Amino acid sequence: MAKEKSTRGNASQFFVAGELCRRGYSAVITMGNTPNTDILCSNIEGTRFVHVQVKTFVPGGRTCSVGMKSEKNFGENFFWVLGGIPEPESKSDFVYYVIPSSVMAKEISKAHQAWLESPGKKGQEHNDSMIRIVTLPPHTSFTGWDVSEYQNRWDLIEQKLKE
């Protein structure tokens, strides 16, 4: 399973980079050599850059794990792309959510704090953990955040590469 998770994550990075290249940008996968950046993307002139962190999920799933670093705002040129990569034999479409770092940090921090302050299934306090998740459509997060507004929002990255 760990091997499949690793190859699925690698595939997701390639699909996201491929989509950015298809849109006329230069996208380089960092192969784990750059902290917090899976893909470095620039305009063709090389004068504008964005950093992309890719997280992978299976379309139809309820959540996508993003980890604790999702609570940090890495700046206006940093984006999270949640890549829904279907199983090879699946008829599901690829799904992408392009989320600015500032939005991700605010929403994940808010949702985690609300979860900590709420009682567990048996009324117990929640213990803090390193897990952070994004709830995927058609569901909404613990705080009501609906990420569907970020589906295929490649224009958010394109704006930064054209400014």
pLDDT over 70 at 67, yes or no? yes
Taking only the tens place, the pLDDT of each residue in 86-143 is 988 999 899 999 999 999 999 999 999 988 888 888 889 888 888 899 999 999 888 9
Give me the pLDDT at residue 3, please: 57
| Proportion of the chain above pLDDT 70, given as a percent | 98
Of 142, 70, 137, 60, nearest to 106 by C-alpha is 70
> Could you state, in order of their start, the residue ranges of all structural domains in the chain?
2-162
Q: If you average pLDDT over every residue of the chain, what do you get?
A: 92
Q: Would you give the DSSP letter of residue 136?
A: P
Positive or negative CA dihedral for 143, 151, 16, 88? Answer: positive
Give me the pLDDT at residue 1, please: 42
- Dmax of the chain from CA atoms? 57
Give the domain 2-162 fold: Trna Endonuclease; Chain: A, domain 1 (3.40.1350)
Tokens describing residue 42: 């620039």
pLDDT over 80 at 5, yes or no? no
Q: What is the mean pLDDT of residues 66-84?
A: 96
pLDDT over 80 at 25, yes or no? yes
Neighbours of 82 (CB within 10 A): 25
Give me the pLDDT at residue 118, please: 87
pLDDT over 60 at 2, yes or no? no
Tokens describing residue 111: 């949702």
Q: How far, in Å, CA of 3 to CA of 25, rounded?
A: 30
Q: pTM for this structure?
A: 0.92
